[in-house]
Amino acid sequence: MSRPWIEFIFAQKIGWQAGLYGGSRDGVYSKILSIDEEAGDASVIIKYPPGWSHESKKAVLADEEFYVLDGSLKINNQIYKQDSYANLPGGYPRDHFSSQEGCVALTFFSAKPILGDADSFDDSELITYINTLDMKWDSASNDPALDWMGNKRKVLKWDKEFDQQGTFIFSTPPHIYPNNWLCPTLTHPCAEETFIISGSYIGPCGKMSKGAYFWRPEYKPHGPFGTREGAFSLIRFKYGKHINIWGEEQIKYSFNANYDPILPDHLKQYGDLEFEGGESY
């Protein structure tokens, strides 16, 4: 089993649920954006209320990757504020875990986050802390067809298995593409997921603004995408090599595409109307 195709859902439409799937984090609230029900890996948003704390010698037995959208977290002696990132391997000890002011974190688990003994962990996968505001933008591209766009990225986690950027934040400047531009679609032999942090993209399924999320399985055609105002997003490539495979047919781009999402049955109730703006996730 794998995750269903979601393109795209607004996180603001999904209601908060008490706790976290797997039962490992009492007192928080969460939204599951996508999940492999069989393997247990998932992408979620977790909300930590002000004053939340968790004291335990147990560890999460799954890799936990997170990006702070709002507020702050403290794990051991490290404070994670807005726009900070970490990748904590399964078994990583957390002697202290709290949020004084509250926090909203975009979080990715490699398996169901159950608790177990903190005996050992893969320290080669440990990324204790990154303040993304301190990083420089990289404009390098592995596809000359995209060089003219002016996209920039900050790589947060390198995928060692496929020797590629695995998790990164992505900045797209305004006015890509012009209206009525002709461009082919793209496919990749890997899954791709994106969460819009600010700004917007406009594509065949409509306008993705703050809080929009998609999980696109491998070999699903997509695009072209453009933006008037620019966009800032977090992207992950998973379960395969990221290669751009361009289609042969030239597609006319439009800034006026209506919201027409591709959603699995359990999310179709949230696909009725486009969501504009909104300060919370």
CA geometry: angle at 142 spanning 154 and 198, to 5°? Answer: 35
4 is a domain residue: no
280 is a domain residue: no
pLDDT in tens, 176-219: 888 888 989 999 999 999 999 999 999 999 999 999 999 999 99
Q: Report the alpha-carbon distance of residue 191 to residue 242 in Å, rounded.
A: 8
Q: Using 50, 70 and 90 to split pLDDT, how confident is the model at 277?
A: low
CATH number of the domain where residue 79 is located: 2.60.120.10
Q: Report the alpha-carbon distance of residue 38 to residue 111 in Å, rounded.
A: 10
Task: Say yes or no: 87 and 194 in one domain.
Answer: no
What's the structural domain count of the chain?
2
Q: Report the alpha-carbon distance of residue 73 to residue 81 in Å, rounded.
A: 7
- 3-13: average pLDDT: 95
Question: What pTM was computed for the model?
Answer: 0.95
Say whether pLDDT at 93 is over 70: yes
Task: Say yes or no: 84 and 159 in one domain.
Answer: no
For residue 9, list its beta bridge partners. 213
With tokens 């799937």, the residue in question is 21
Q: Report the alpha-carbon distance of residue 277 to residue 279 in Å, rounded.
A: 7
With tokens 């890799």, the residue in question is 63
2 is a domain residue: no
pLDDT in tens, 55-83: 877 889 999 999 999 999 999 999 999 99
Of 103, 134, 165, which residue is a domain's last? 134
Task: Say yes or no: 96 and 201 in one domain.
Answer: no
* Domain extent at residue 107: 14-134
Q: Using 50, 70 and 90 to split pLDDT, how confident is the model at 273?
A: low
Of 77, 105, 134, which residue is a domain's last? 134
- Find, among 170, 172, 174, 164, the residue nearest to 194 by Cα: 170
Task: Say yes or no: 209 and 159 in one domain.
Answer: yes
H and E: helices and strands count for the chain = 0, 25
Q: What is the CA radius of gyration of the chain?
A: 19
pLDDT in tens, 107-149: 999 999 999 887 789 899 999 999 999 999 998 776 666 666 7
Q: Using 50, 70 and 90 to split pLDDT, how confident is the model at 227?
A: very high
Q: Return the pLDDT at 104.
A: 98
Q: Report the alpha-carbon distance of residue 262 to residue 142 in Å, rounded.
A: 28
Task: Say yes or no: 215 and 149 in one domain.
Answer: yes
